[in-house]
């Protein structure tokens, strides 16, 4: 078993933005779990649950199924154990002291050492879609009955027993689909390619896939038609859908996609790094199983500061001291900074730079304040950030 006496640095160990160091659990917080008896290679499930009585019940169920049981009563201890013990799966509550379940999930998925671990939520909250969109394998709401718990463990056992994940790529451009296969293939991924919506529907009716990459512009039907078909399938056969498009979605298309978000997980991936990140997340791939170049791409996608590189930001402030300070900080992130000292100048800069990605707007300014400037931007379809711009 790995040494569990040193503090974990979370995602910062992989060169990512540092998170608050998490110390080893205090003796008072430790349930009588199996961490001291855990052997190298032994299968284990981590329970992150602050209801100690319920946690003890779950631990017995874990042991009955042949797993070692690890337990944490708060988010920090759970993150520590996940990083140091690398369990085969995690059962996670949301209502936790200190770091809640959403924060725990986010940090697990930002850490390359733990992001592949299947996580099943077990909580009193009703927010299944949020959990699934973060990469969870399942979501059950408390209180639970024995049948629900049995199904929960069956879901976990199925997730960790599969050595090969199945990915469906739906793309009618042969050259594009070939490039996607080259990007996403791996020794633990079986890829099927559908060149049309009908072919995709046939494959989905015969096989269960773990994830689908979908181009919205198909030759025989739109991607929306295919999503409509999936929505009416058996709920257990629904799957994460990653929209892959070379263009930005229009406002109307985004509204259409929201129609499906209660039943289908929709992600937009516009770059190879982002697409690789999303697919490996939903397929629960171990980072070390990827080749070195794909590991580099994955870490670049996970590194939030890398996402800022090359982005153009318009900085609007009438105080030159603020502009100087913020420009220095943004330049360190390799961002392109365009400056404006008031609202009218900001509008002129947006006309000159229609490729601006972000506007940092002061509110209290002479001539035209921030509120009026924002309203003007939203009303002008020619400006980036308007209500009708892509």
Lowest average pLDDT, out of 34-48, 316-330, 374-388, goes to 374-388
- DSSP label of 108: H
The 10 Å Cβ neighbour count of residue 97 is: 11
Residues in the chain, how many? 390
- 75-85 and 101-110 are packed helices; what angle lies between their axes, rounded to 10 degrees? 30
For the domain made up of 10-161, the CATH class stated in words is alpha beta
| Record: fold of 165-299 | Rossmann fold (3.40.50)
Per-residue pLDDT, 26: 47
What confidence category does residue 380 fall into, taking pLDDT thresholds of 50, 70 and 90?
confident
Kindly report, residue by residue over 114-146, the tens digit of the pLDDT: 999 999 999 988 888 888 888 999 999 999 999
In this model, does residue 62 exceed pLDDT 90? yes
Kindly report, residue by residue over 16-28, the tens digit of the pLDDT: 333 333 445 543 3
In this model, does residue 328 exceed pLDDT 90? no
Pseudo-torsion of CA 70, 73, 75, 76, nearest 10°? -80
Q: What is the pTM of this model?
A: 0.68
Per-residue pLDDT, 385: 54
Segment 142-164 mean pLDDT: 92
Contacts 24+ apart (CB under 8 A), 198-205: 200/168, 200/170, 200/226, 201/226, 201/229, 203/168, 204/168, 204/229, 204/230, 204/233, 204/237
What confidence category does residue 61 fall into, taking pLDDT thresholds of 50, 70 and 90?
very high
- Equal CATH topology for 165-299 and 309-379: yes
| Record: fold of 309-379 | Rossmann fold (3.40.50)
In this model, does residue 336 exceed pLDDT 70? yes
Q: Where does residue 141 rank: exposed (0-12), middle (13-18), buried (19+ CB within 10 A)?
A: middle
Query: Comparing 350 with 286, which gets the higher pLDDT?
Result: 350
The residues spanned by each domain of the chain are: 10-161, 165-299, 309-379
Kindly report, residue by residue over 277-306, the tens digit of the pLDDT: 889 889 988 877 788 888 887 877 776 655
């Amino acid at each position: 078993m790995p040494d569990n006496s040193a503090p974990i640095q979370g995602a910062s160990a992989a060169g990512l933005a540092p998170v608050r160091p998490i110390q080893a659990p205090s003796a008072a917080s430790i349930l009588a779990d199996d961490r001291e008896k855990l052997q190298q290679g032994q299968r284990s499930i981590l329970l992150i649950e602050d209801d100690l009585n319920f946690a003890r019940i779950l631990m017995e169920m874990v042991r009955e199924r042949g797993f070692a049981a690890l337990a944490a009563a708060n988010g920090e201890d759970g993150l520590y154990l996940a990083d140091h013990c690398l369990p085969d799966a995690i059962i996670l509550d949301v209502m936790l002291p200190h770091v809640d379940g959403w924060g725990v999930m986010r940090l697990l998925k930002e850490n390359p050492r733990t992001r592949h671990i299947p996580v099943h939520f077990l909580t009193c909250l009703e927010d299944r879609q949020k959990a699934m969109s973060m990469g969870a394998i399942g979501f059950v709401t408390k209180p639970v009955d024995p049948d629900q718990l049995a199904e929960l463990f069956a879901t976990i056992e199925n997730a960790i027993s599969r050595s090969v994940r199945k990915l469906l790529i739906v793309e009618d451009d042969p050259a594009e689909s070939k490039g996607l296969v080259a990007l996403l293939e791996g020794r633990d991924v079986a890829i099927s390619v559908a060149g049309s919506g009908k072919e995709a529907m046939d494959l989905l009716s015969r096989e269960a896939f773990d994830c689908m990459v979908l181009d919205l512009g198909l030759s025989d039907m739109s991607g929306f038609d295919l999503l409509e078909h999936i929505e009416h399938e058996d709920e257990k056969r629904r799957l994460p859908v990653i929209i892959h498009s070379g263009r930005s979605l229009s406002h109307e298309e985004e509204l259409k996609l929201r129609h499906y978000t209660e039943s289908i997980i929709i992600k937009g991936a516009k770059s190879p790094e982002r697409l690789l990140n999303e697919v490996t997340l939903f397929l629960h791939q171990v980072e070390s199983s990827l080749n070195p170049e794909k590991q580099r791409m994955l870490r670049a996608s996970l590194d939030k500061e890398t996402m800022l590189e090359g982005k153009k930001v318009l900085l609007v402030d009438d105080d030159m001291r603020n502009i100087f300070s913020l420009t220095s900080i943004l330049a360190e992130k390799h961002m392109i900074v365009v400056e404006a000292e008031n609202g009218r100048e900001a509008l002129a800069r947006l006309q000159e730079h229609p490729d601006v990605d972000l506007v940092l707007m002061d509110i209290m300014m002479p001539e035209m304040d921030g509120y009026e400037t924002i309203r003007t931007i939203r009303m002008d379809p020619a400006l980036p950030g308007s209500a009708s711009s892509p």
